Chain A
Amino acid sequence: MPRIIKYILYDILRTRFILFYTLFLLLSAVGMYQLDSDTSKVVLSMMNIVLIVVPLVSIVFTTIHFYNSYEFIELMLAQPVNRTVVFLSQYLSVALSLLLAYTVGIGLPMVFYGTEASGLTLILSGAMLTLVFVSLAFLSAVLTRDKAKAIGVALLFWFYFSLIFDAFVLWILYSFSDYPLEKVTVALIALNPVDLARILMILQLDVSALMGYTGAFFKDFFGGGMGFAFATGVLLLWVAVPLGLAMRVFKRKDL
């Protein structure tokens, strides 16, 4: 498995896309630090980028990569190698390279210019988002046969989680505003990894506003460590479940 990972990583590096991605994140982070001296405001601006760009890049890059290495996968499977090993090596090497790009791109300026707890949370939530969207991309890739279609599905995933879902949540909250919706809202948020990553961030940035609720449930959820534990836990599920499903499909798939 380490040897397969090594070859795939080499392949990924050769396309240079990862380098561009790192450079892009690095430049935008440095630019924000240059523009604003207030570190908490910089984290805020970076969060907006992370929540939009990281899912998009992760999911599109992974899908394209999967289809580009389709022949390599076929070749590997012709050898006496377990399908699980091939699939996991693919997942690990893509996730690893994207994670590395992200951590370097966002983390290096933070080390250089200094940051606070919210910066570390940003790194954590962005890393989780990367993993989640790589998983989702693998799922969309194994579910389709056609590259264009897979990219379409991937983009749809991104659009759905970044925008449509929140509009849907807001609509529900508006329509049922006469009812106690605290637990329902938290349950709804759990259905969207981007929202979970965002919750991790606003727990850091806006906690004094979040404490403005009368409900005891929210108070426990935001005030104690429960919100953090919940969001991180569900995000891990969001990594594991699509990955498991994709692996299941991949194992039985007629390539």
Chain B
Amino acid sequence: MMRWTAVMLMLGWQTADGGVIRAGDGRSVVQAVEMAAAGDTVIVPQGTYAEGNILIRKPLTVLGENMPVMDGRMKDEIFTIAAEHVTIDGFRIINTGRSSMEDLAGIKCLDAHHAVIRNNIFENTFFGIHISNSDHSTISNNKLSSSAEFEYQLGNGIHLWKCKHALIEGNEVTGHRDGIYFEFVTLSFIRKNISQKNMRYGLHFMFSHDDAYEDNVFRNNGAGVSVMYTRHVKMHRNVFEDNWGSSSYGLLLKDISDSEVIGNRFTGNTSGIYMEGTSRTVFDGNLFRQNGWAIKLMASCDGNSFNRNNFSGNTFDISTNGALVLNSMSHNHWDKYEGYDLDRDGIGDIPFHPVSLFSVISEHIPSAMLIWRSFLVFLLDRAEKVMPAVTPANLKDDNPMMHAHDLG
């Protein structure tokens, strides 16, 4: 009922500047789209349509009534949009063809600025939504799922290439190659999406400056989330969890600069954050809980600051691959901290060294992990704490907090 009212409202509003064309009753969607003039609304009633590719070359609003099914019969691309101001709303888009040559998609936008794609369900698609060279697109409240045995048989869920001012909001992506893929996409927002169980990355991000992604959940993806070759990215309040595997990271940062990682939760990942070549980035108010390695900080990172984060129940808090330390840490809470606070200002009086000897050992000899938590390892770690010989002595938090921060 709500939905119907919404459609009616849309109709009333649309008729102000355009006509309404209904598909169905012997009229195909392709015919309806052809008949419509620029600015019209095309309504597709409930039903199953397998009409091959539907090419839209004029500004149109295409509305599905009670989720009509658009079936690609495992060979077609379904909607192809090559015009500005096109809206696709309320469809169930299934079974696109699979072709790595043509990147077949459920909905593809080519040079289509101001596209709106919302409230659709994508099932068993190669690429779900594929947008290139289109600015100001809005992709919201879609559900995308796909599956395949191998990675090369899948495309990305939401794929953007060379776009500006995009808004990706409230979508759910599962079982694709990359959940959300950004390449050369600038000044854009990714908000409140859930990206999980994708075969490669939950979010894949390259050369995409000045973007923000906030309040998303990235869970159980093959390789976690990767953000590369980008500056000025804001990563706020996201959840990165259960990304398991030797090359799987909650968040992989490679050649990132002047960015923010604030208020995120990293839980149960093999590596919470893996960072190399990262500069001048702020890590503030994040929670790292029950990760194998909370942060793998490579020596190629410089000028980063880690403040007011909570570390609890991680196997290793921080590991690094060199003695050079160009980053600062302050006011974090480390559950492994064993110092005291005589002046009772809530800050520990002796510094905390988050790199343990055994994390260095297991970096060199991975199978040594099997004697982790043995009495011997305990003694070795203790000895190293007293006289640091292997671990970098100046990688430390001079103001460790006695109590965990309240991160909400």
Residues of A within 8 A of B (CB): 38, 40-41, 47-48, 51-52, 162-163, 166-167, 169-170, 173-174, 177, 181-182, 185-186, 189, 194-195, 198-199, 201-202, 205-215, 218-219, 223
Contact = CB atoms under 8 A, between A and B. Distances in A.
Contact of B372 (A48, A194, A202, A215): A202
Contact of B376 (A163, A181, A218): A163
A209 B359 CA distance: 11
A210 B335 contact: no
Contact of A162 (B290, B292, B313, B375): B375
Interface in B351-379: 361, 364-379
Using C-beta atoms within 8 Å of the partner chain, give the interface range for chain B: 35 or more
A209 B292 contact: yes
Contacts of B315: 205-206, 208-209
Given A38-B335, A173-B365, A199-B370, 17 more contacts: A48-B373, A48-B378, A51-B374, A163-B379, A166-B376, A173-B367, A177-B365, A181-B365, A186-B370, A194-B374, A208-B268, A208-B292, A209-B372, A211-B292, A212-B245, A214-B246, A214-B247
B373 A211 contact: no
B271 interface: yes
Contacts of A181: 365, 367
Contact of A209 (B364, B369, B377, B379): B369
**Of A40, A41, A174, A206, which is in contact with the most chain B CB atoms at under 10 Å from its CB?**
A206
Nearest to B247: A214
Interface of B: 244-248, 268-271, 290-293, 312-313, 315-316, 335, 361, 364-379
Contacts of B378: 48
Nearest to B293: A209
For the complex of A and B, 6 pairs with smallest distance between CB atoms? A209-B292, A209-B315, A166-B376, A211-B244, A208-B292, A185-B367
A212 B246 contact: yes
Contacts of B247: 214
B368 A173 contact: yes
B244 A213 contact: no
Contacts of A223: 244
B367 A206 contact: no
B292 A206 contact: yes
A169 B365 CA distance: 12
A66 to B, nearest CB: 26
A86 B379 CA distance: 42
B290 A208 contact: yes
Contacts of B374: 51, 166, 194-195, 198
B291 A208 contact: yes
B376 A212 contact: no
A170 B269 contact: no
30 contacts: A38-B313, A41-B313, A48-B378, A52-B375, A163-B375, A166-B374, A170-B361, A170-B371, A173-B365, A173-B367, A185-B370, A189-B370, A198-B373, A202-B372, A206-B315, A206-B372, A207-B244, A208-B244, A208-B269, A208-B270, A209-B372, A210-B369, A211-B244, A211-B245, A211-B248, A211-B270, A211-B292, A213-B367, A214-B366, A223-B244
A214 B375 CA distance: 26
For the residues of A in contact with B, the DSSP-based class is helix
Contact of A51 (B248, B361, B375): B375
Contacts of B268: 208
B354 to A, nearest CB: 15
B377 A166 contact: yes
Given A202-B372, A214-B246, A174 B292 contact: no
Given A41-B313, A212-B270, A170 B376 contact: yes
A35 B372 CA distance: 24
Contacts of A166: 371, 374-377
Nearest to B316: A209
A146 to B, nearest CB: 29
A199 B374 CA distance: 10
Contact of B313 (A40, A47, A48, A194): A40
A250 B153 CA distance: 66
Contacts of B371: 166, 169-170, 189, 195
A106 B181 CA distance: 50
Contacts of A41: 313, 335
A109 to B, nearest CB: 20
Contacts of B292: 206, 208-212
A195 to B, nearest CB: 7
A194 B316 CA distance: 22
A38 B312 contact: yes
A205 B372 CA distance: 11
**Of B245, B248, B379, which is in contact with the most chain A CB atoms at under 10 Å from its CB?**
B245
Contacts of A215: 366
